[in-house]
């Protein structure tokens, strides 16, 4: 019996068009646009100036506080501007513009690091390295990893969960990384287990990635403290609370974290980044990005330098298909449409989805028919129809009392609504107001 979470969930078409496409390396861009807010928390503070020469991996913006993260230069080159650019949120944010030095060979020679199994750093040094090298959650949330790993004395962690679910349709970046870098990911898991003194780890992978499950099962034959768990294909299986419930049958508190039930959850991409930082002194300056869409002729997965304009990725897969309606940062369920293709890749960019006119068109919004479908699929046990109505009518205090902040914004409610009501849009809006008002239910 495959493991899963008990409440709600849906199974949209998977559309994993690039699951068999090996990760390619995107050409180094001529210019990178590196935002200083690529993580949850306080933006980093710029420590370079216009005309400064920078090297690959050099710190160009330092953590602005505890919940913040360092930013490193992905290329060797010259800082040309400290500018305001539109990022994936649609708002202008501060950014460091670097022109790549075409004569610097280090920009164009990619080092292939050998697998390194000896852990030379002490636990505290490992955690400091993770902080110094700008590692954040690569599953989408971009929470600074050193914060998540800062465990207070009154908390006891007995399990590390590795999220290899990748339940969002279309995206295959994590799947390919698991197939191509399994030994490095395993080593990253062992590094974290050692640093945190955690006795066991579980890698959760959805059952539509049987090749990844088998790959890790073979590696784990000599690793009794680490197990692989196949999960039912159900969205949003990759949500932290859903994953903890599925694998351990522990219920994370409503306004709590996995830490509250003795668990830390990390995405496989984050684990690989931790391995590279600890074993090879490599900061987080690139990541795997899926570039896909039903009408994309050369959809694939790429290693992409942070700060690369999205238009470079689109060009690499053959350009924009005729009839394109939307370009989405992320997947179709939780991703957000981009304003233009000048937006840069950040640490949180897991995929670029190109959607055609016929796919993107929403049905005409009609009155709610009280069918209850949105309630039945909500993995958090909420009433999405009610939360939308309260947000639409400006009844934000009431929305807070109805637990609107508990919504994980998975979009399952909007997906199943027969009246095509923009449930998630209004709930997101309502959440943003409730956060400011601080009227949530305790």
Tens digits of residue pLDDT in 289-316: 999 999 998 999 999 999 999 999 999 9
pLDDT at 331: 95
DSSP 369: -
DSSP 164: -
pLDDT at 198: 96
pLDDT at 9: 97
Residues above pLDDT 70, as percent of the chain: 99
pLDDT at 110: 83
Q: pLDDT band for position 274 (50/70/90)?
A: very high
Is 95 annotated as ligand-binding?
A: no
109 pLDDT exceeds 90? no
Is 413 annotated as ligand-binding?
A: yes
Query: d(Cα 72, Cα 69) in Å, to the nearest integer?
Result: 10
The torsion angles phi and psi of 417, rounded to 5 degrees, stand at -65, 120
DSSP 131: H
What are the tokens at 49?
Answer: 């100036």
pLDDT at 360: 83
Query: d(Cα 141, Cα 44) in Å, to the nearest integer?
Result: 17
Is 167 annotated as ligand-binding?
A: no
pLDDT at 103: 94
Query: d(Cα 85, Cα 95) in Å, to the nearest integer?
Result: 7
Q: pLDDT band for position 354 (50/70/90)?
A: very high
pLDDT at 427: 97
153 pLDDT exceeds 90? no
- Mean local confidence (pLDDT), 95-112: 93
Q: For the domain 123-280, what is the CATH code? A: 3.40.50.11540
356 pLDDT exceeds 70? yes
pLDDT at 357: 87
Do 148 and 130 meet the contact criterion of CB atoms below 8 Å apart?
no
DSSP 417: -
Query: d(Cα 177, Cα 305) in Å, to the nearest integer?
Result: 16
Is 159 annotated as ligand-binding?
A: no
Contacts of residue 438, Cβ cutoff 8 Å, sequence gap at least 6: none
How is the chain split into domains, by residue range? 123-280, 373-441
What element of type H or E holds 248?
Answer: helix 240-248
pLDDT at 439: 56
- Read off the pLDDT of residues 193-230 as tens digits, 9 standing for 90 and up: 999 999 999 999 999 999 999 999 999 998 999 999 99
The torsion angles phi and psi of 412, rounded to 5 degrees, stand at -60, -35
What's the whole-model pTM score?
A: 0.95
pLDDT at 89: 83
Query: d(Cα 27, Cα 31) in Å, to the nearest integer?
Result: 12
- Read off the pLDDT of residues 23-46 as tens digits, 9 standing for 90 and up: 999 999 999 999 999 999 999 999
């Amino acid at each position: 019996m495959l493991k899963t979470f008990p409440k709600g969930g849906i199974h949209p078409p998977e559309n994993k068009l690039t699951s068999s496409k090996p990760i390619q390396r995107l050409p180094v861009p001529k210019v990178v646009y590196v935002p200083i807010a690529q993580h949850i928390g306080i933006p980093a503070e710029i420590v370079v100036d216009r005309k400064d020469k920078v090297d690959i991996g050099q710190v160009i913006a330092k953590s602005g506080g505890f919940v913040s993260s360092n930013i490193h230069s992905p290329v060797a080159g010259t800082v040309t501007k400290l500018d305001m650019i539109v990022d994936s949120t649609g708002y202008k944010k501060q950014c460091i513009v670097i022109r790549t030095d075409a004569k610097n060979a280090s920009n164009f020679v990619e080092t292939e690091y050998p697998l390194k199994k000896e852990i030379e750093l002490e636990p505290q040094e490992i955690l400091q390295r993770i902080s110094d090298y700008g590692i954040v959650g690569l599953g989408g949330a971009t929470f600074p990893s050193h914060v998540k790993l800062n465990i207070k004395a009154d908390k006891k962690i007995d399990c590390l969960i590795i999220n290899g679910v990748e339940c969002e349709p279309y995206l295959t970046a994590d799947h390919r990384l698991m197939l191509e870098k399994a030994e490095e990911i395993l080593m990253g898991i062992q590094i974290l287990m050692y640093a945190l003194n955690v006795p066991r780890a579980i890698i959760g992978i959805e059952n539509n990635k049987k090749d990844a499950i088998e790959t890790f099962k073979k590696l784990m034959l000599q690793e009794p403290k680490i197990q692989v768990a196949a999960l039912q294909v159900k969205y949003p299986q990759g949500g932290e609370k859903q994953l903890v419930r599925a694998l351990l049958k522990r219920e994370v508190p409503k306004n709590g974290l996995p830490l509250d039930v003795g668990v830390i959850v990390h995405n496989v991409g984050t684990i690989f980044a931790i391995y590279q930082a600890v074993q090879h002194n490599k900061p987080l300056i690139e990541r795997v990005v899926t570039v896909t869409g039903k009408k994309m002729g050369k959809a694939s997965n790429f290693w992409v330098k942070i700060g690369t304009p999205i238009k470079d990725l689109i060009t690499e897969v053959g350009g924009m298909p005729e009839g394109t309606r939307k370009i989405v940062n992320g997947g179709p369920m939780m991703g957000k449409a981009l304003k233009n293709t000048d937006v840069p890749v950040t640490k949180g960019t897991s995929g670029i989805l190109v959607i055609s006119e016929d796919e993107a068109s929403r049905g005409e919004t009609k009155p709610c028919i009280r069918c209850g479908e949105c309630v039945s699929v909500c993995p958090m046990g909420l009433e999405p129809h009610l939360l939308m109505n309260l947000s639409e009518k400006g009844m934000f205090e009431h929305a807070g009392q109805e637990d609107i902040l508990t919504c994980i914004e998975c979009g399952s409610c909007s997906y199943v609504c027969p009246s095509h009501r923009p449930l998630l849009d209004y709930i997101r809006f309502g959440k943003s107001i409730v956060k400011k008002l601080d009227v949530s239910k305790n």
